Structure 1
């Protein structure tokens, strides 16, 4: 579990640096995060697979997001509001349909 926690911690730190436009070059960034350059590129690849719009800005000499995104790790509870519908599936398990304000118009969790 420690390895996964460390990777998530690195992604959270990387996310903060990207938002601030303070990553620096890949060499500088891998040093800031205390990981190898190869590990940095693997993590950036995973983030891109998860739809993070990361690009390297040559002018800023920093990785940046092309559009506004959020990264959250953990489990959170919340009440359902508005168009969100709580329904019971055929297996008597609860499913949640909610509007998502990004790429996908609705999300169904069963």
Structure 2
């Protein structure tokens, strides 16, 4: 363990310290673990996938609604699109809560 000088108060501190014990200046930033990095990447990928799903689902349902032959088909397609969007929204919120909690629990600690 080597000693270095704090850039703020010039006190002698360990080179492995995150903060100076004298002035509480942050010397180096704690790093996220490999598992934490994977969880954060899964959170980002999940949100991108859900955004993609919403846009493709709404686009496809719009085509069906516009090309329907009868009013009953249009009403059924609109109802199905609304229910699908609601289920997708619920899945998105629940998934974000669960994965977000894992991101929070795997954050770097100083």
Whichever structure has more helix as a proportion of its residues is: 2
Shared fold, TM over 0.5:
no
TM-score, normalised with respect to structure 1: 0.25
Which structure has more RCO (C-alpha within 8 Å, separation ≥ 6)? 2
Larger Rg: 2
TM-score, normalised with respect to structure 2: 0.25
